[in-house]
Amino acid sequence: MELNKDKLPIIFEAMNKNDADAWIIMGRETIMKSEPVLPVLGDLSFIIATTLVFTRDKCIAIVSPLDVEAYKTIEGIDEVREYPGTMEDTIYEVLSELGVKRLALNISSSDSAADGLTVGMYRRLQRVLDRLETKPEVISAFPIISEVRGRKTASQIELIRDCVVQADKYLRSLPEVCHEGMTSLEVFNYLQEVAFRDGYTMSWAESQCPSVSCDPNVPQGHSGLTDTPLVKGCTVNIDYGVKKNGYCSDLQRMYYVLKDDEEDAPEEVKKAFYLVRDAIDAARRFMMPGVTGFRVDQIARHMIVDEGFDSWNAALGHQVGHVTHDGGTILANRRPRYNKPELIDTPLQVGNVFTIEPGIEIPQGRIGIEEDVVLTEQGAEFLCPRQEELILIRLQ
């Protein structure tokens, strides 16, 4: 196991910024019951009950006698405490010595990435807190985890970029294999096969990645694939991402299936496509460190609504990288499920990687493009060449 030392300065900075004296990460058998923040911190997993305690300048590991020597070899862990009796007793000793006044725990009603503390472990910890002479104020570790997950390092960004570039390449190659009678299942199989051939896996569940929408009469959403023929005169929307080395991408590309007598897509289809394309670029150009996700969302949303289209029932974008929906701040409006200050009113930061994915409905199908961008000091940059024109499909 190893700790990603590049994340330590981010942890300590976030601890100080949020006035947290200690951040506790507890778990056991985390391969069975995931603690989402552990893979972000490095190649870490817990087997026997284990606790990491981060202060504003060091990391303490509280481990079983069986694991003591192994944890001593992990760079970045400053102190290893063996619990000879119960883990709770040693946690009590550490918290008492530190004099913790504000304690951050992995509990959040807004973000699954910051909600890794199980009920059983919380109850064990509560017994510790009840024993303390001075009880600390318990706060959510969401703002700390949001920074640790969201502020990608240069090496992490390059691994994400590789996945973005590869997914885009596979998506753009699709017209080469399209034929009369081709179905969404064949498209699905093709995009999986080319990725697997090159050593990539899918960004999300293999039964659902990619999502292939090729008939406007087929319901959309996060579900298994419906085997539907490609329809001439209709759009095809594909939501797809690949994963490798612990990082992933998330893109959507738009296609139009030409009728036999067509050489180009109809003007109304191209107009809708260009509107979505330009709304993405306007949002990207507005994105700067310190801007909030709500304000970014409004740029694209108003462009589309002002042209007479409905406001789409989703966020404009989410963070991506470690997993497809990477937690932390998002780009969204004030719909009830997004209207939480920590999600949409927290300033964006350098190193954040976001999708930008507005969508509109037209009679020929859904128009949805999704691009991945990284936020730098100068603004947001596309991680691969953006889609600027509809990809035309001629069924042979």
pLDDT at 218: 73
What is the CATH number assigned to the segment(s) 2-149?
3.40.350.10
The model's pLDDT over 76-113, given as tens digits with 9 standing for 90+, comes to 999 999 999 999 999 999 999 999 999 999 999 999 99
Q: What are phi and psi of 64, to 5 degrees?
A: -75, 160
> At 215, is the pLDDT very low, low, confident or very high (cuts 50, 70, 90)?
confident
Of 330-339, 355-364, 386-395, the one with minimum mean pLDDT is: 330-339
Choose among 59, 121, 124, 132: nearest CA to 95: 132
Q: Which residues pair with 239 in a beta bridge?
A: 211, 252
Residue appearing with tokens 């009113």: 345
CA angle 351, 325, 184 (to 5 degrees): 125
Mean pLDDT to the nearest integer, 44-55: 96
**% of the chain residues with pLDDT over 90:** 94
d(CA 23, CA 16): 11
Contacts 24+ apart (CB under 8 A), 8-13: 8/59, 8/76, 10/147, 10/148, 10/151, 11/54, 11/144, 11/148, 12/54, 12/56, 12/57, 13/147
Average pLDDT, the chain: 95
Those residues with Cβ within 8 angstroms of residue 249's Cβ, 6 or more apart along the chain or in another chain = 160, 163, 164, 166, 167, 203, 241, 242, 243, 320, 372, 383
d(CA 196, CA 185): 16
Length in residues, the chain = 396
Residue 222 has pLDDT above 60, yes or no: no
Residue 228 has pLDDT above 70, yes or no: yes
d(CA 116, CA 141): 10
CA angle 180, 183, 186 (to 5 degrees): 105
Q: What are phi and psi of 273, to 5 degrees?
A: -60, -45
Q: What are phi and psi of 8, to 5 degrees?
A: -60, -45
Beta strand ranges found along the chain (DSSP E): 2-3, 22-27, 42-43, 50-54, 59-63, 79-82, 102-105, 137-140, 201-202, 211-213, 235-240, 242-244, 247-248, 251-257, 353-356, 359-362, 365-368, 371-376, 379-382, 391-393
d(CA 132, CA 95): 8
Print the SS3 string covering 262-280: CCCCCHHHHHHHHHHHHHH
pLDDT at 220: 65
Going from N- to C-terminal start, the domains of the chain cover: 2-149, 151-393
Question: What fold is seen in the domain 151-393?
Answer: Creatine Amidinohydrolase (3.90.230)
Q: What are phi and psi of 113, to 5 degrees?
A: -70, -20
Is there a contact between 38 and 246 (Cβ–Cβ < 8 Å)? no
